[in-house]
Copies of this chain bind each other. A is one copy, B any other.
């Protein structure tokens, strides 16, 4: 029987801290921050404005918008959904309490770095094939199962979850880079929509929950 408490590392870690001093702690963090900036610049150079315009049109033309993602991509989906609500859209998160039945005139936004996450692929297929809803994929893999069945694919290059780049994997393990770039990109899209619709921060604040 193993314990969930992390104390097995304690003695080793304490001695590292004791040796290292403050110039050691933080070096990796700094390299990480530089890597994130580098990636944000990467997204910037690879923006496909035609696709972004299509994405915004799909948001505008949907009766309701549904968002979904698993794990940390799910938190990105929820953070984006909250802003869509602040912007005045009729938006729901798949799996939350008050989410109603999706209809053909609705839009599903599926966020998955690999584009192969079991639940995301299965639910997207149901929305697309059984219901006939429009499907937008936010992914880093244009060749993934999710991307292939989507009407609009927004490709955000991060490190691939299944790829093992030794150097990068020590800085940004698993889906970290995709999740960060997805959240940053989607927050940029919010700014874009605010500008197009001439919405102000006050318009958003007016819809922001106060019971929290």
A contacts, CB < 8 Å to B = 1-10, 12-14, 16-17, 22-23, 25-34, 36-37, 40-41, 43-44, 47, 49-50, 52-53, 56-57, 59-61, 63-64, 66, 68, 70-72, 75-76, 78-79, 81-82, 85-102, 108, 117-119, 122-123, 126-127, 130-131, 164, 169-174, 176, 179-180, 183-185, 187-192, 194-197, 200-201, 204-212
Contacts and interface: CB of A to CB of B under 8 A. Distances in A.
Contacts of A101: 206-210
A73 to B, nearest CB: 10
A94 B93 CA distance: 14
Contacts of A131: 210
Number of copies: 4
A208 B22 CA distance: 31
Contacts of A95: 70, 95, 211-212
5 contacts: A5-B90, A36-B187, A173-B194, A174-B205, A176-B187
